[in-house]
Amino acid sequence: AQTVTQSQPEMSVQEAETVTLSCTYDTSESDYYLFWYKQPPSRQMILVIRQEAYKQQNATENRFSVNFQKAAKSFSLKISDSQLGDAAMYFCAYRSSYGNNRLAFGKGNQVVVIP
Amino acid sequence: GAGVSQTPSNKVTEKGKYVELRCDPISGHTALYWYRQSLGQGPEFLIYFQGTGAADDSGLPNDRFFAVRPEGSVSTLKIQRTERGDSAVYLCASSLTAGQGPDTQYFGPGTRLTVL
């Protein structure tokens, strides 16, 4: 089974600054998908960004970008120009492309934005 | 359009009771997933449906847990003889096709189950 590790339980960032969340995963597969989800206090998981493993180019969505290092099995999320609304739990998730559709999540990173 | 909805939002029950949690997926989504999120943890997979059938139920912790999706839309997660360790947030998600391409899963707000 794939495991996803997020090792920084809480990260603080000043408003308008940049914060990077780290994620590593363990897999023997060559093709898979990686996701970052945001979970605010409302509990609803919201997709932030996704990356296909076969793509070398790092995904970007507005202020959110990833650094995908396939050989190192690393998938970090960078939040630029942090806003108060970015405060939430962020979860890294892995999904196989070989018929197993479950998402495997890490334990999450709490992001605190300081005004 | 409407997102994934879950009812009830919160459920408090007593040890040994039976509970049902409902999930209404996004219209047109054929795949539906249940996850359980314990305090301070990431969600853990329970079961997923492709249409009416359970395509993978290997995440269900024991035979007290059961889920159905009789018409390929709404799903109900059923827990018999609840235990205090069942207390968690139960999240439902749906996706368009299940396994084809990135096939993003969209989540509902969850049901917080508390077993006293």
**C-alpha distance from A66 to closest chain B C-alpha (Å):** 16
Distance from CA of B108 to the nearest CA of A (A): 6
Verify whether the Cβ–Cβ distance B43 to A100 is below 8 Å: no
Residue B102 has pLDDT above 80, yes or no: no
Residues contacting A81, CB < 8 A, separation 6+: A16, A17, A18, A63
Q: Residues A2-31: pLDDT tens digits?
A: 899 998 889 999 999 999 999 999 999 989
pLDDT score of B67: 97
pLDDT (tens digit per residue) in A58-115: 999 999 999 999 999 999 999 999 999 999 999 999 998 887 789 999 999 999 999 9
* Contacting residues of B for A35, CB less than 8 Å apart: 104
Q: Mark which residues 35-94 of B lie under 8 Å from A by CB.
A: 35, 40-45, 48, 55-56, 59, 89, 91, 93
The verdict on whether omega for the bond into residue B8 sits within 30 degrees of 0, i.e. cis, is: yes
Cβ neighbours of B106 in A, within 8 Å: 47
Q: What is the pLDDT of residue A78?
A: 98
Min Cα–Cα distance to chain B from A32, Å: 9
Residue B51 CA to residue B53 CA, distance in Å, equals 6
Contacts of B111 in chain A (CB under 8 A): none
Q: Which chain B residue has its CA at the smallest distance from A5's CA? A: B42
Write down the pLDDT at residue A101. 84
Rounded to an integer, the average pLDDT of A24-49 is 93
- Identity (one letter) of the amino acid at B95? S
Contact flag A107-B104 (C-beta cutoff 8 Å): no
What is the reported pLDDT for B1? 57
CB A109 within 8 A of CB A115: no
Instruction: For residue B71, report the phi and psi dihedrals to the nearest 5 degrees.
Output: -115, 15
CA distance B82 to chain A (A): 23
The average pLDDT across B41-49 equals 95
The percentage of residues in chain B with a pLDDT greater than 90, rounded to a whole number, is 84
Predicted confidence at residue B18, as pLDDT, reads 98
- Range from A77-81, B55-59, B61-65 carrying the lowest mean pLDDT: B55-59
Q: Is the CB of residue B30 less than 8 Å from the CB of residue B103?
A: no
Report the chain A residue with the minimal C-alpha distance to residue B90: A43
Whole-number pLDDT of residue B2: 82
Beta bridge partners of A3: A26
Do A105 and B109 make contact, defined as CB atoms within 8 angstroms?
no
The mean pLDDT of B92-106, rounded to a whole number, is 82
Q: HSE of B3 in the Cβ direction (CA atoms, 13 Å)?
A: 13
Residues 4-43 of A with CB under 8 A from B: 4, 33, 35, 37, 42-43
What pLDDT band is residue B98 in, cutting at 50, 70 and 90? Answer: low
